[in-house]
A and B are shown apart, each in its own frame.
Chain A
Amino acid sequence: MQTKRRVFLKGSLAASAAGLAVGAGLLSPRAVLAADWPKAAFESESMDNALSELFGSSDVSDSDDITVKAPDIAENGAVVPVTIESGISDSKEVAIFVSKNPNPLVASFDLSGANPFVSTRIRMGETDDVTGVVNAGGKLYKAGKEVKVTIGGCGG
C-alpha cells in the first residue's frame, strides 16, 4: 500500500509539473511525455488508443521499407524474438505492438542517436501480427509479420 501511494504521489507531482510547463508554452506536450514512461499508452487496450497516446496520432501508413523479423511459429509465446529495422530516412522512434495482447503496446524505442534497428524478445498471448511502427519525420509507418503461437505467454 505504502509503495502504491508513493507511486501515485510521484505520478501526480510529475503530471502537475508537466502541466505547468505546457501552460507556460515552454514545451510541446509530446516533449514532456517523452521524458517519462508513457503510462496511458502502455495501459491502452486497443492499438489505436495506444498509438494516439504514444505518438499523438493513430494515422499509420503501410511501408515496405520496414522489416519485421519474427518466427513463423512460436512454440512458446513467452519468448518471441522480434527484430525491426527501418529503411525510411529520418526514422527516429520504433514501437512494437501486438494488437491482441491485453495491452497492445509492448515497447517503444527512441533511436535518435542510433541506427533505426532494434531486436528484442517479447510475450504474445495468441497467434497475431507483430507490428512495428516507425516515426519518421513526424509521420507514422508500419509493417507486420504474423506469428503462430502454440502456447500463449501472457498468463501463468
Chain B
Amino acid sequence: MSTIRMRISPAGDVLDVKALIRHPMETGQREDKSTGEKIPADYIETMSVKVNGEQVMQANLSAGVSKNPYLNIKIPGKKGDEIKMTWNSNTGESDEATQAA
C-alpha cells in the first residue's frame, strides 16, 4: 500500500490538494530506549507534485517536519486532472501516488 494518501478537492479553477504521508521522520537524535543506541536519521528530503505530467511544486524537507508529514497546497487545475506526488528520503527510499482530481 502506498505511503501517500491524497485528497483533492476542486474549487473553481483551483485544486486543493491535501496529502498525508506515512513516514517516521527520524531526526537521528533519538535513542532506542532498550539498547541505548541512537536511531539513525531517516526523513523525507524531497517531494514533488505534478499535474498532468508537469511539475507544479517541489519541496525540500528536513527532520524538522513532523512524523507522518502533512501537506496542503493549492494548484491551478480542474476536475479530471491527474495529480502525481513523489517523495524521496535521505536513506534512498521513495514512493509515489497518482490520483485524478
Residue A101 interfacial (CB < 8 Å): yes
With beta carbons under 8 angstroms apart, the residue of B45, B46, B71, B92 that contacts A118 is B71
Residue B34 interfacial (CB < 8 Å): no
Q: Give, as a whole number of angstroms, the nearest-CB distance from B60 to chain A.
A: 5
Do A156 and B64 touch across chains, with their CB atoms under 8 A apart? no
**A interface with B by C-beta (< 8 Å):** 3, 6-7, 34, 37-38, 42, 78-81, 83, 98, 101-103, 105-115, 117-123, 153-156
Given contacts A37-B45, A110-B57, A155-B30, contact A79 B66 (CB under 8 A): yes
Q: Give, as a whole number of angstroms, the nearest-CB distance from A35 to chain B.
A: 9
Residue of B nearest to A96 (CB): B64
Q: Which residues of the partner chain B approach A109 to less than 8 Å between Cβ atoms?
A: 57-60, 73
Q: Give, as a whole number of angstroms, the nearest-CB distance from B53 to chain A.
A: 12
For the complex of A and B, list the 10 residue pairs with the smallest distance between their C-beta atoms, beginning with the closest: A113-B56, A106-B64, A119-B72, A115-B74, A121-B66, A37-B45, A114-B75, A110-B58, A156-B30, A109-B59
